[in-house]
């Protein structure tokens, strides 16, 4: 049973959707930095106010801020976890590696959800969240290509990447995800 997982992929690939299903199925802590940041915005906290404008532009919130959130959650949790939307750049990945070395909790699988830009755009436009208008989505895709996509090589080198085709119905994608994370390490 794999219980330390990371979900990677472009915005709209379905990381949140699939992460939620898998976490429920396996009883894991689902840690979505996007959701945690949106909750801070909703609560009107100082952190949320800082994050709000950045998210509305489709850019990345500061590493220090996101790291502090993730670190606090992982330190206070005992058991398996699934990271969704974090890390999003090499600096975050390096900091995560240090933290997990310290905790002696290495990542077991990195699930990479792959989807064409055209479908990503359609999915996000039909979701219609505050940061889901066309100009902001295009910027998020650009930020993904520049800052997050290099993580694929980083984790591939560590032998952790499990590619999953994210096109098709939610249930179909979920069974592909389940299959790759059930493979022996
Ligand atoms: P996130 O909350 O991570 O959101 P996302 O990448 O846009 O979406 P995701 O891939 O999770 O897609 P979802 O399942 O929702 O990030 C939002 C913002 O937060 C970032 O732009 C950034 O500003 C900030 N942020 C987050 N983490 C950060 C970090 N580590 N560092 C700095 N900043 C950070 O699916 C999308 C839509 O598709 C949904 O409507 C869903 O219902 C639909 N869908 C899913 N699967 C489908 C399927 N198989 N078929 C049809 N529709 C499907």
pLDDT bin (cut points 50, 70, 90) of residue 2 is low
Q: What number is the average pLDDT over the span 78-92?
A: 97
Cis peptide before 87 (omega within 30 of 0): yes
Report the predicted TM-score, pTM, of the whole model to 2 decimal places: 0.94
Give the residues surrounding ligand 1 with Cβ less than 6 Å away.
Answer: 9, 11-17, 33-34, 37, 54-55, 58-61, 66, 85-86, 88, 92, 123-124, 127, 140, 168-170, 173
Determine the pLDDT at residue 185: 77
* Model confidence at 144: pLDDT above 90: yes
Give the mean pLDDT of the chain. 95
Cα dist from 87 to 19, 31, 81, whole Å: 14, 11, 14
Catalytic (active site) residue 15: yes
State the average pLDDT over residues 107-134.
96
Contact between 36 and 72 (Cβ < 8 Å):
no
Measured in Å, residue 180 CA sits from the centre of ligand 1 at 21
């Amino acid at each position: 049973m794999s219980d330390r997982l990371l979900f990677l992929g472009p915005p709209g690939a379905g990381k949140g959707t699939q992460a939620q299903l898998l976490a429920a199925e396996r009883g894991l802590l689902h840690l979505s930095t996007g959701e945690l940041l949106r909750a801070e915005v909703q609560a009107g906290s100082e952190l949320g106010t800082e994050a709000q404008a950045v998210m509305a532009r489709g850019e990345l919130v500061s590493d220090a801020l996101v790291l502090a959130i993730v670190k606090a959650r992982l330190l206070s949790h005992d058991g398996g976890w699934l990271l969704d939307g974090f890390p999003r750049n090499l600096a975050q990945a390096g900091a995560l590696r240090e933290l997990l070395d310290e905790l002696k909790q290495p990542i077991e699988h990195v699930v990479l959800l792959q989807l064409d830009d055209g479908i990503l755009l359609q999915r996000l436009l039909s979701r219609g969240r505050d940061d889901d208008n066309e100009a902001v989505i295009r910027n998020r895709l650009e930020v993904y290509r520049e800052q997050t996509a290099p993580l694929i090589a980083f984790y591939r080198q560590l032998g952790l990447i499990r590619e999953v085709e994210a096109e098709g119905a939610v249930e179909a994608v979920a069974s592909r995800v389940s299959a790759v994370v059930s493979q022996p390490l």
